[in-house]
Chains A and B, each alone.
Chain A
Amino acid sequence: MTATTAEHHDHHDDHHHAPHGLKRWLFSTNHKDIGTLYLWFSFAMFLIGGLLALVIRAELMYPGMQVVDPEFFNQMTTVHGLVMVFGAIMPAFVGLANWMIPLMIGAPDMALPRMNNWSFWILPFAFTILISSVLMSAFGEGNPSAPNFGWTFYAPLSTTYGPASTDLFILSVHMMGISSIMGAINVVVTVFNLRAPGMTMMKMPLFVWTWLITAFLLVAVMPVLAGAVTMMLTDRHFGTSFFSAAGGGDPVLFQHIFWFFGHPEVYIMILPSFGVVSSIIPVFARKQLFGYASMVYATASIALLSFVVWAHHMFTVGMPLAGTLFFMYMTMLISVPTGVKVFNWMATMWRGSMTFELPMKWAIAFVILFTCGGLSGLMLAITPVDFQYHDTYFVVAHFHYVLVSGAVFSIMAAAYYWLPKWSGVMPNKILGELHFWSSLLSVNLLFFPMHFVGLAGMPRRYADYALQFADYNFWISIGAFWFGVSQLIFLVVAILCAMKKGEKAPANPWDAPEEDLEWTVPSPAPFHTFDTPPVIK
């Protein structure tokens, strides 16, 4: 490390002396390398999580138990959820933050580079621990159960009744939490301290703004999650009864704590998406972002409101009427700033001069499909009807619209948008088009019919179902396999870019306006950028 920094001072051409081989990645303190690690890691997790989901869909293709045991089925739903939330989506955004925030604010690196290294390298260990429990369950002697209580791990199912691997789960969640908190602190410190001279807060790109707000959410709620799993741990092994009614505790307390983390968590997974899309749409519409200031305020108010809506996940636990009403009104309210965002994107496109390169295609698909998810969220907010929707496939449809065709689509948009800068070559257009259209069609075949089976009353986390749900489940599974295969196309696109195979990318391939600093450096971005800060007019 010291070598790198020393060289950095007395050489002009730094990347000449950049470290090579394994050491480059293991000991990296460079925001670009760490960003790359995060992005590859999250893509690997995306594929693993997807594999687990395909086990679920294979089982649910037909009524009856054909492929796995209901016990293993529950392990699949649980680990799928955990891997996708903590392994795929969150690290992908941290990867984007690492790569792009310094480039966007004209900083030489993240503010805390060694912590940056640590926060990444915790993750592979955390997920090895978690996934090892699945491997043991699938192949181990006596098939000891992996975590099987859903990604929401409600007590007492996860405490008194949790399998032995629950302790592995607790440890890995702690590690993920530490990693996220450090990542978030790094973003906050970087944004507050390393902006180029002249870049006032209200000149920052929206991606930086949304990530800054996300980072505050992370710092606020990850410790709550850590608290929840620690209480589980002591309930399981040290005789406490936080969540056990038999010992004077309260299983519902668990849900309050979990969702106090959990609801802000869902915004942690979507606010950076808002930033990505707000960066992309103006470039391809050749028109300034509509309502910059209101975008910032809307993001901030969504973040604040997200702390007072948690119990909308718990309408059926039997809260007092006044509490139920409060959470219903607050949840309805949160759709107002969400609507503002969507309207602003529409107005940005309006009377622009649009072209539809791959990043723009994903961004427009994001706006439309995320809106679908937001609208079903509004339906879920109507409490008396939520009594019917809750814990059915309708909820599954809702959150997959916001998380897959929302968060994941925005990550794809970001990847296609910035890959030229990261790799120096343009992503393959033909494969990219195929990936986009194939994902767009399959994601809807996969998740839209879930609304129907949910409304008709199919509960979620069911290994088997009544015949009236059969036809849609068949098509949902077809959509799932199709979507899964489509993502392999992106694997090829990414590998081609990493191998520098393809059309060479100019510094500013999308004709972005010159205020977007990331496009002022060459492609691929050199190992060190903005050693001397740019001056912002």
Chain B
Amino acid sequence: MQSTLFRRVSAALSLLMFSGFAVASDWAERSDHNLRQGVTQVSQEVYDLHMIILWIVSAIGLAVFGLIMYSVFAHRRSKRPKAADFHEHVLLEVVWTIIPFFILIAMAIPATRVLINLDDTSASELTVKVTGYRWKWSYEYLSYKDDNDVGVFFFSNLKTPADQFNTPALEGGLFPYGTAAENYGKESPEKDYNYMLEADKALVVPSGVKVRFLVTADDVIHSFYVPDFGFKKDAIPGFVNEIWTNIPEGQEGTYYGQCAELCGKNHAFMPIEVKVVTQDEFATWLADEKEKAASGPDLTPFASLDDAMKLGEQKYAASCALCHGANGEGGIGPTFVGSEMATQAEHREDHIHVLVNGRNAMPSFKAQLTPKDIAAVITYERNAWGNNTGDLIQPADVAK
């Protein structure tokens, strides 16, 4: 939108401004001081707007600050024992009302243009429905090019294991993770640079295609925010918002975002991971996912209690521990340790029922977990932490 000259000048100026803080390439790649430039045309336009307004307000700010400081030094009593006697100046007052007005108009025009462009979700080739839950996202691929019935759906949870963020105070010294500068460029899982940002299953989108997201939520308001694509859109229960992006070819890679509207306890723990791949790779990926979806749930019974417990432990940690505690001790949700629900035989059906269909604040896991997963989790809850009921639930028990 702005000329390249403008872009170069503003990049040079901003570099200058922040050079005290960071190595240039570091800053450009994953800034920790300035707005991220991002990878799409829109994010670039937004970044340009940001830089113009940043320069305008910096200039005004410096002028105000400078004049006040000048006045403080030049117009103190020791220098000017007698104050001047003026308290009105119509021309001056008109000028400083009108000039800001014109600066604002100059800002409003490009801002309006970007806004109109952002609002236009037409002619998209891929549509993905994004749903926010406490505290995870789900992605449903609705249509891609000519295929209006893609039918691929999955959930995406935080990948970072709890022991990485549960660090008791001051363990590991002043900078337990090292400083950001030391960590720059080191990738997880070894080095945690993307600590808190990685999801267990990424949203996959192709490059060079206009992608439309239909954003909604299942419980409270969340916000779908991926800085590198230059957007943030609230996910509101009962309403569907639209937003689009088009990642240019050559920008394939992984991008991160986070939930940006307070949604309760684990608001900070529901990252968005987007993998941008070429259109060919995307077609292959989509075909794979469709095939998996078509083959129906796996109902082969567990061979032993141990098998079920092993899977159950994983699934419990990923899906249940946030509310019911890592050791079943409870939290937002009730405890399982020795609870009636998890130990008494007559509650067995109810136990399954609650997990499948939800109850009160407890969400339904029907869509998120396969019957096999559900059977494993229930088995786990009824046998772990000294519950030892010996119950082995089979996938077939859940499927009915």
Contact = CB atoms under 8 A, between A and B. Distances in A.
A64 B219 contact: no
Interface in B369-391: none
Given A294-B93, A470-B177, A346 B64 contact: yes
Given A161-B219, A285-B83, A251 B68 contact: no
Given A466-B194, A467-B180, A251 B237 contact: yes
B61 A469 contact: no
B45 interface: yes
A355 B76 contact: yes
Contact of A316 (B33, B75, B232): B232
A65 B165 contact: yes
Contact of B82 (A250, A353, A375): A353
A432 to B, nearest CB: 18
Contacts of A294: 93
A368 B72 CA distance: 12
A13 interface: no
Given A387-B230, A461-B262, 7 more contacts: A66-B171, A318-B242, A328-B108, A378-B57, A384-B111, A466-B195, A467-B193
A353 B87 contact: no
Contact of B61 (A354, A371, A382, A383): A371
11 contacts: A65-B166, A70-B265, A71-B265, A287-B83, A287-B85, A288-B85, A333-B104, A350-B75, A383-B111, A459-B258, A466-B256
A354 B76 contact: yes
A339 B31 CA distance: 31
A346 B65 CA distance: 10
A392 B227 CA distance: 11
Contact of B32 (A250, A387, A453, A463): A453
A267 interface: no
Contact of B236 (A66, A317, A390, A459): A317
Interface stretch (B3-11, B94-102, B281-289, B337-345): B94-102
A329 interface: yes
Interface in A483-523: none
Contacts of B231: 387
Given A332-B108, A335-B104, A384-B114, A462 B87 contact: no
A379 B46 CA distance: 12
B355 to A, nearest CB: 20
Interface string A330-345: 0011011001101100
Nearest to B105: A332
Given A245-B237, A316-B223, A351 B165 contact: no
B169 interface: yes
B101 A388 contact: no
B32 A336 contact: no
A63 B87 CA distance: 53
Given A351-B80, A453-B32, A466 B53 contact: no
A459 B260 contact: yes
Contacts, number: 317
B49 A368 contact: no
B31 A289 contact: no
Contact of A382 (B101, B111, B260): B111
Interface residues of A, number: 97
B217 to A, nearest CB: 9
Interface of A: 62-67, 69-71, 74, 148-150, 154, 156-157, 160-161, 244-246, 250-252, 285-292, 294, 316-318, 321, 324-325, 328-329, 332-333, 335-336, 339-340, 342-343, 346-356, 364, 367-368, 371-372, 375-376, 378-379, 382-385, 387-388, 390-392, 452-453, 455-457, 459, 461-472, 474
Contacts of B61: 371-372, 375
Contact of B71 (A354, A355, A471, A474): A354
Contacts of B170: 66
A66 B167 contact: yes
Contact of A391 (B53, B167, B261): B261
Interface residues of B, number: 110
Interface string B142-184: 0000000000000000000000111111110011111111011
A348 B64 CA distance: 13
A74 B262 contact: yes
B398 interface: no
A321 B64 contact: no
Nearest to B193: A467
B34 A64 contact: no
A332 B104 contact: yes
A384 B49 CA distance: 8
B173 to A, nearest CB: 10
Q: Top 6 nearest A-B pairs by Cβ distance?
A: A245-B238, A64-B167, A318-B241, A351-B84, A375-B57, A462-B268
Contacts of A250: 238-239
B13 interface: no
Contacts of B45: 384
B130 interface: no
B264 interface: yes
A459 B114 contact: no
B123 interface: no
Given A66-B168, A332-B104, A332-B108, A287 B84 contact: yes
A288 B87 contact: yes
Contacts of A67: 169
A382 B49 CA distance: 8
Given A70-B265, A318-B234, A351-B83, A364 B72 contact: yes
A295 B325 CA distance: 58
B333 to A, nearest CB: 12
A328 B72 contact: no
A456 B32 contact: yes
B68 A367 contact: yes
B268 A70 contact: yes
Interface in B24-71: 30-36, 45-46, 49-50, 53-54, 57, 60-61, 64-65, 67-68, 71
Contacts of A161: 134, 219-220, 264, 361
B88 interface: yes
A247 B133 CA distance: 19
A469 B180 contact: yes
Contacts of B262: 74, 149-150, 154, 157, 461
B118 A384 contact: yes
B293 interface: no
B104 A291 contact: no
Interface in B173-221: 174-181, 183-184, 192-197, 219-221
B268 A287 contact: no
Contacts of A466: 193-197, 256
